[in-house]
Copies of this chain bind each other. A is one copy, B any other.
Amino acid sequence: MATARDVAERAGTSTAVVSYVFNNGPRPVSADTRRRVLEAAAELDYRPNILARALSAGRTYSLGLLIPQIRNPYFATLAEHLENFARQHDHLLLIGDSAGDPEQESAHIGSFIERKVDGVVLVSLLVEPAIQRFAAAGVPVVALHPVPEGVTVSTLSIDYVAAAEASTDHLLSHGYRTLGVVTGPEDSPGTSEHRRGIERALDKHPRASARYVASPVSRFAARDAVQPWFKQKRPPRAIYCSTDEQAFGVLFAAWEAGLRVPEDVAVMGFDGTSECTVTVPPLASVRQPIEETARSAVELLLDRTNTQAARHVLDYALVPSTSCGC
């Protein structure tokens, strides 16, 4: 593999100039010299050694994505978009999948810091400790979930409370009086926001009631979580899920229990992954702007001028479908 020294020799100049050319700075280079360098580089098929560059310049041209579970289509989609935008900016995306395990998340945090990623997109189980560690290491972070007041970090998310309210309200407006709610684990970020939105909607429908169950964000866990309801004489007439992933499990549990969706039980997901359009039956959901989230996250992380921690709120969209009775 050719090095900058090889290119410099061939172009009759120095490694410094080769560096100036390839980085467009920090010193100017005459048009003629630049041409000779580029020619020599092309002839030798020179590519700067990223590792050396990283060591010297302190930038790795990589971004980290820390998520609870890559198998969740929402995160898989997010990863795809982030990777695209990262590539457009000549960055590599590292994916850290915690598999719902705080210890694994912690290991990934260490790994990202060790490898000196230029920034991290965070969907954390630990939230505050995670943010602290990255802050201490000087790694810029964008969090995609609700973060407690007072924690200094950029966030990029929809208004979860409003979205949960809108979704629940939609269900209750169908006339469904008994609501089942599947949230994530008690302490996971977002759970309280979903609850808050649901309570608000319930306030507007005084004759409706709700029962709650917390479940890991997995279709398998969610199926298990709602099975008891479906064995009861009077299962909830409608089920609100805080993620599509869980809703997939609920659709299955209903089928397994011999309940028709939406005739016997209506189901609403959350995230609006495209997988919703091909479930049996198609799943109503709240669409998150995944692509826009990814684009903004990459821009925020790579824009070295803007170091302000700002909280950005994106738009969501309610997407009715067969599963909610439309």
A interface residue numbers (CB < 8 A to B): 47, 49-52, 54-55, 60, 70-71, 73, 76-77, 79-80, 83, 87, 92, 94-95, 97, 99, 104, 107, 111, 114-116, 219-220, 223, 248-249, 251-252, 255, 274-275, 277-281
Say yes or no: A278 contacts B76, CB within 8 Å.
Answer: no
Measured CA separation A255–B277 after assembly (Å) = 12
For the complex of A and B, list the 4 residue pairs with the smallest distance between their C-beta atoms, beginning with the closest. Answer: A280-B280, A252-B278, A71-B76, A255-B280
Selected from B60, B95, B111, B220, the residue in CB contact (under 8 A) with A51 is B60
Selected from B77, B219, B223, B278, the residue in CB contact (under 8 A) with A219 is B278
Say yes or no: B116 contacts A99, CB within 8 Å.
Answer: no
Selected from B99, B107, B223, B249, the residue in CB contact (under 8 A) with A80 is B99
Output the nearest chain B residue to A1 by Cβ-Cβ distance: B137
Say yes or no: B220 contacts A278, CB within 8 Å.
Answer: yes
Measured CA separation A177–B277 after assembly (Å) = 31
Selected from B79, B115, B249, the residue in CB contact (under 8 A) with A92 is B115
Extra A-B contacts (19), CB below 8 Å, given A51-B60, A70-B70? A49-B55, A50-B114, A51-B51, A51-B115, A55-B55, A71-B76, A71-B80, A80-B99, A83-B97, A87-B104, A94-B94, A95-B95, A219-B275, A219-B278, A248-B278, A249-B278, A252-B279, A252-B280, A280-B280
Measured CA separation A252–B47 after assembly (Å) = 48
For A278, what are the chain B residues with a Cβ–Cβ distance below 8 Å?
Answer: 219-220, 223, 248-249, 252
Measured CA separation A161–B55 after assembly (Å) = 48
Copies of this chain, tallied across the complex: 2
For A71, what are the chain B residues with a Cβ–Cβ distance below 8 Å?
Answer: 73, 76-77, 80
For A274, what are the chain B residues with a Cβ–Cβ distance below 8 Å?
Answer: 220
27 residue pairs of the A-B complex, CB under 8 angstroms, read A47-B114, A49-B55, A50-B114, A50-B115, A51-B55, A51-B60, A51-B116, A52-B55, A55-B55, A70-B70, A70-B76, A70-B80, A71-B73, A71-B80, A76-B76, A79-B95, A87-B104, A92-B111, A92-B115, A95-B95, A219-B275, A219-B278, A249-B278, A252-B279, A252-B280, A255-B280, A279-B280
Selected from B50, B54, B80, B281, the residue in CB contact (under 8 A) with A97 is B80
Measured CA separation A51–B114 after assembly (Å) = 9
Question: Would you give the shortest CB distance from A77 to chain B, in whole angstroms?
Answer: 7
For A251, what are the chain B residues with a Cβ–Cβ distance below 8 Å?
Answer: 280
Output the nearest chain B residue to A90 by Cβ-Cβ distance: B111
Output the nearest chain B residue to A47 by Cβ-Cβ distance: B114
For A279, what are the chain B residues with a Cβ–Cβ distance below 8 Å?
Answer: 252, 280
